[in-house]
A and B are shown apart, each in its own frame.
Chain A
Amino acid sequence: MKIIIRGTLATLGLGIALGVSAGPVEDQAAFQKYYESRFPNTPTADFANGVYSILPEAREQWESIEEFPPYEIAIENGEKLYHSKFANGKSLADCFGPEGAVRGQYPLWDKDRGMVVTMERAVNECREANGEKPYGWKKGKIADVTAYMSYNSRGQEVKVDIPSNDPRALAAYEDGKEHFYTKRGQLNFACADCHMLTAGNLYRADTTSPAFGHATSWPVFRSKWQSMGTLHRRFAGCHNNIRANPYKAQGAEYSNLEYFVTYMSNGLDFNGPAARK
């Protein structure tokens, strides 16, 4: 049985300990500073490389994997899907331009609907608006298409915006933040437990990655999956690991979490797709 347990005490404790109760701008500065002082040998921009930014002994192997990247086929498939015509003669290029180089615009706050829109959601909404069925959310075609789009967007800066004139945007951010710091599941872990407080520690033979940079490199070819997956696929996997009920991919919970986590990485560059263990 899986149990959801909310560790409000822990959330508050961490918030106070890190002095992150003021607002998104202050949160972000404190968040990034935390990792920069924990890992002084990592140049800030390098946090976009996940665990390899803090693990020199694994980096060489990872770099050799990236020379013949396992996500290359996904980019090629994605390119075909991106340019293939819908029944109405249009294609994704009519929504996102000739190369789909729009990664830097997402996740974005949709003022009209009062919700976070991820790039995956935007892709499926474009399909639906053109009378096509949406792709599944976690792997397969959605990962291929976004691999192509992310590849063409490499180097775009992460600059998530939380419009100050819309309190619902701040509420979505706060929801994602609470999610990140709240203990949950039968094993009672918060994202922050492994990826902030003990980032870089060993769990069995695996080193946990810093959350700073977590959202830059998606979709990812993960060795454990032997396939491509989206960020929300990974969120669900993490929740399974801690024996919590995963939320629905692209539901408000994961979209708000993505909003928070990506905002925390503002200033880094998008560098997806990537290979990860």
Chain B
Amino acid sequence: MKKELLTALLASALMSPLAIADAVKQGKEIAWSRKKGNCLTCHMMDGGQQTGNSGPPLMSMKARYPDKAALREQIWDPTKRNPLTNMPPFGRNKILTEAEIDQVVEYLYSL
């Protein structure tokens, strides 16, 4: 896990602006897809319609998570911080791939 995280961070640190824009675009598709991230079920975000309210609105993510790795960790397995959370452990339970999580993180960081 640590190695994967490091790789992901290195990858994002080395990403060109164009690559980041691409990751943001793909991350949005994953986040909005009902079969993938399905974030809108619980989170108000990015002008999405008919969003749920069980999770907090996703905005100002850079300010809320100055440490990008902490944001990634929260998506990978939110039960570490709060065992009772309703948020699915997207990495631990392999709901998303590691690469997909990276893209979602880039997207969220753009909000």
B-binding residues in A (CB < 8 A): 1, 3, 5, 7, 9-10, 13-14, 186-189, 193-194, 197-198, 201-205
Contact = CB atoms under 8 A, between A and B. Distances in A.
A186 B86 contact: no
29 contacts: A3-B93, A7-B79, A9-B83, A10-B83, A13-B83, A14-B84, A186-B93, A186-B95, A187-B88, A187-B93, A188-B79, A188-B88, A188-B89, A188-B93, A189-B88, A193-B86, A197-B86, A198-B54, A198-B86, A201-B53, A201-B54, A202-B51, A202-B52, A202-B53, A202-B54, A204-B40, A204-B41, A204-B51, A204-B52
A201 B52 contact: yes
A201 B44 CA distance: 13
B50 interface: yes
Contacts of A9: 83
Contact of B83 (A7, A198, A202, A205): A7
B59 interface: no
Interface centre among A13, A186, A194 (most CB of B within 10 A): A186
B42 interface: yes
Interface of B: 40-42, 50-54, 79, 83-84, 86, 88-89, 93-95
A108 to B, nearest CB: 33
Contacts of A1: 94
Contacts of B88: 186-189
Q: Which of A1, A7, A204, A205 has the most CB of B within 10 A?
A: A204
A197 B84 contact: yes
